Structure 1
Amino acid sequence: MSAPMETARKVADAVLYEGYLLYPYRASAAKNRLRWQFGVLVPPGFTATAEPSASVTECLLEGSANALLRLRLRFLHVRRRRVERAENGGFLPVHELECDARTHLTFDEATEREAEAVLPMPHLLGAERTVVVRVPGDRSEEPILAASGDAIGRVVMEHRPVRAVLRVRAERLPGPYGLLKLRVRLENATEPAWPGAMREEALRDSLVSAHLVIGVTAGAFLSMLDPPEWARRAAEGCRNENTWPVLVGGAGRRDVMLSSPIILYDHPEIAPESPGELFDSTEMDEMLHLRTLTLTEEEKREARATDPRAAEIIQRAGDLPPELVERLHGVIRHLGKPARTPWWDPEAEDEASPDTGSVIVGGVRIARGSRVRLVPGKRRADAHDMFLTGRTAQVEAVLLDLDGGRYLAVTLDDDLGADLHRSHGRFLYFAPDEVEPVAGGETSS
């Protein structure tokens, strides 16, 4: 495995297990009763939910007409874990079984699956190539033994077979730049075990957290988030369905693309301070670690029984030394001089002061005391912000951040508590392009 692909794998692993099991890591928690939310490709014909059975990745490459394309499919394969109690010479499925102070729970797990194909780019130009991935089913049993050696039950684990199909093609784009457009369609081609099954059953025939890691030799990918200007129209013509392709690897590298089921930025990285997987990369490690420590002993017992990976989190949270806990609190990545002098600095210019600063909006000078109409829908779609659309407000201050951006602190004209908010300095904040001047409400120069 190449170094760039290995670097990409660390990020891809975080994508693979995003949402696998959420705090408080217990099977009984409401948030863990409806699982597997990201990158689920259900079997074709499953209609109980609106989840897709396929994804499409389209991206751009340059200088790659003779390259080798390394395509790696990765997903989680749901494994049914059923606890059964020994009874009358047979076994009876149960939700929970206690044995010598250890709890065994019926709760699905997942196994990592990976398949790789290497395809010469000339073979993809103008011709679709198909790669079929078959993962066989399996079944295993583990006895639950009491201290006396008697079998009081068993754990039955089962994978159902799944089948995936990758359809890959490339085309030359017109123009002087030698651009290639790569298209990869990933399909779940599994035959469902029970047509018309509910989601819990269909997930066992699904590709969960499905994503692609695509590497190229003798060529380079273009960023789909921030393409060069000469390639912007071509990038806008790419169609991605149920996936989000981004560059991965060290900053500046363009030989590996991650087609992710969750939205990422180019060159995402795993924080070196992170002590291990917490299955929620959108949260702070420190917060999840401290919350895990607050679980009661009974809650920890259930979490350990829920999933082996949850048991690792519980163990790690208890064993993490203080110096590593402190590292989770935060870190400064870069130091640099601010773009503007902070307004509280005595050397700051007058225009940086909230009391005297101003900004031009629609050709009108807006400063403290100006009246504006709020139009947050131009930038945001939050319900609370939309409720404010069209309402008028008074500007209380024009603020300047360290990067030179300006913001308006306002109080609503029809807010009966405006004076109270003003006395406590509790304002609503908007960017200049989220307001419009009210006629007669401008401030004179």
Structure 2
Amino acid sequence: MILGGPPSFEAARAVADAILYEGYLLYPYRRSSGKNRVRWQFGVLTPRSWLAPAAERDTGVAGSADAWRQWTECLLEAHEDATVHMRLRFLQIQHRSVQARLPGTGFEPVDELVVHGDRHLTFDEAVPREYDVTASVADIRRAPHVADVIAPAGEEIVPLGDLGRVVRTCRPVSARVRLSARPADSPFPLLRLRLAIENTACSPSAGAPRTEALRVSLVATHSLLGVTGGSFLSLLDPPEWAAAAARNCRNIHTFPVLAGAEGGRDVLLSSPILMDDHPRVSPESPGDLFDATEIDEILSLRTLTLTEEEKREARATDPRAAAIVDRVEQVPREVLARLHGAVRSPRRPATPETVVVDGFRVTRGSRVRLRPRAHGTDAHDMFLAGRVGVVQAVRTDLDGSRHVAVTIEDDPAADLHEWYGRYHYFAPEEVVPLKEPEP
């Protein structure tokens, strides 16, 4: 069933698009570059028949290895009348063949053709695909909701005058989606929602070239899950009562995180790339560069240093590469200045965290005497023994341990450190509060 998803999916689209094209092409965006000869590294769902037995084993949560399925499990608070929306997104490989006209009426595939000064190269492109599935919580609790997805084959012919043509072809890609839910083991009502996505193609067989398997594969596969009348729980930072249920969730070649509007819990992004809850694209970024692990400023400046011949090849390699080169050449100076650096305050909870030390409540603004322990601490902390610190935050790490973040009271650069969010961290037992105890 193909239905529209909730409007809140749009709030997660920028990050989802970055996942869709991560690694699509890498700097210097030329076909001749070695790093662009081995492509499609994330979220690749190939036919099961093509995978060797060793590669078929489900290992890890990240989708940086070829697999035949993705399996997502997450936690959902919802009543029977709630509705779950699922949007499957992937790339379908499209081969671009440049063909020279032969004497008569025939054509011959060639690696490159120059027409009126423009280069045309044989290369692989990709077509973005989206498929939506909607089901009620009551239905998927009774039985899995199964939907078959088919991205059709296609062919497009673009004439190049009397010299030749460009032929774009793609083979059909098929997949099956299963959406189900069952009660989770928790003290309060909670569902474990499961989404399974499988490549259902029956060929090629093991031993065929990877390029052949990619023709019928889902590439950069990820999904958006939304709920109307319910909310998801974070698997990274679940409430204490749901921590055991979160640990029991099994995720194969995917990593689900809360997405959409900051603080919202109605959208979840299941990604082949590890990330934190509520990921977002930097507002300073002028556009996608297909490499979220790099710095936009560096990639932009490097692209500007390409020779005219290198830019010409990049433009001929792929329309998206041409768009990057054109955009970088036209970036205003003030936009490049914004790329040079931005300072943002660290995310803080709406209510400041506190910790009680020797009957005193320590929170933001408290003054404490620093007493670093003699063993098992940073050697630099010993130079701060006896100094007075001003508490800027009380933080909890992934293991549940508390840490007191302080700036030094008589440090002339304390205001600057606070502005940058650069603090000294001490355990609660390493500080002595300097105020009256709480009543």
TM-score tier by shorter-chain length is: 0.7 to 0.9
Aligned to 1:93: 109
One-letter amino acid matched to 2:291: D
Aligned-partner Cα distance in 2 for 1:29–1:364: 45
8 A Cα contact 2:224 2:268, kept in partner:
yes
Separation (CA, whole Å) in 2 of partners of 1:190 and 1:286: 41
| Alignment equivalent of 1:287, drawn from 284, 298, 311 | 298
Moved more, 314-323 or 185-194: 185-194
Residue 191 (structure 1) shift: 3.0
Check the 8 A contact 1:140/1:157 in 2, yes or no. Answer: yes
Distance change in 2, residues 1:78/1:404 (3 Å) = same
Range moving further from structure 2, 46-55 or 66-75: 46-55
Which is further off, 277-286 or 192-201? 192-201
Distance 1:361 1:57 in 2: 43
Between the aligned partners of 1:267 and 1:360, the Cα distance in structure 2 is 39
1:5 lines up with 2:9 in the alignment: yes
CA-to-aligned-CA distance 1:399-444 (integer Å, 9 cap, x gap):
xx933237xxxxxxxxxxxxxxxxxxxxxxxxxxxxxxxxxxxxxx
**2:67 corresponds to which residue?**
52
Aligned pairs for 1:4-83 within 5 A: 4-47=8-51, 50=55, 51-83=66-98
Runs of 4+ that moved beyond 4 A: 349-352, 362-368
Deviations 1:162-208 (A, max 9, x none): 11101111001244411000011100112325764201111111000
Do the aligned residues in 2 keep the contact of 1:43 with 1:205 (CA within 8 Å)? yes
Q: Deviations over 1:101-127 (max 9, x none)?
A: 110001000000000011011001142
Cα distance in 2 between the residues matched to 1:232 and 1:336: 22
Distance 1:336 1:254 in 2: 17
Q: TM-score, normalised by structure 2?
A: 0.76
| Distance in 2 (alpha carbons) for counterparts of 1:85 and 1:26 | 22
Gaps in structure 1 of 5+ consecutive residues: 146-150, 340-348, 369-400, 407-445
Give the aligned partner of residue 192 of structure 2. Answer: 181
- Kept in 2, the 8 Å contact 1:67–1:121? The answer is yes
Unaligned runs of 5+ in 2: 56-65, 354-366, 384-420, 427-439
Residue 425 (structure 2) pairs with residue 405 (structure 1):
yes
Given the alignment, which residue of 217, 222, 237 partners 1:226? 237
Q: Which structure 2 residues correspond to residues 277-426 of structure 1 after superposition, within 5 A? A: 277-334=288-345, 359-361=373-375, 402-405=422-425
What is the percent sequence identity of the aligned residues?
49
Instruction: Indicate if the aligned counterparts of 2:100 and 2:163 stay in contact, CA closer than 8 A.
Output: yes
SS at match of 2:71: strand
Per the TM alignment, residue 309 of structure 1 is displaced from its structure 2 partner at its CA by 0.3
Q: Do 2:182 and 2:193's aligned partners in 1 also have CA atoms closer than 8 Å? A: yes
TM-fit CA distance, 1:367? 5.2
Q: Does 1:115 align with 2:131?
A: yes
Task: Find the counterpart in structure 1 of residue 286 from structure 2.
Answer: 275
Q: TM-score, normalised by structure 1?
A: 0.75
* SS of equivalent to 1:125: helix
Give the Cα–Cα distance (whole angstroms) in 2 for the partners of residues 290 and 27 of structure 1: 20
Q: Which residue of 2 aligns with 1:106?
A: 122
- Letter matched to residue 79 of structure 1: Q
- Larger mean CA deviation between 172-181 and 314-323 belongs to 172-181
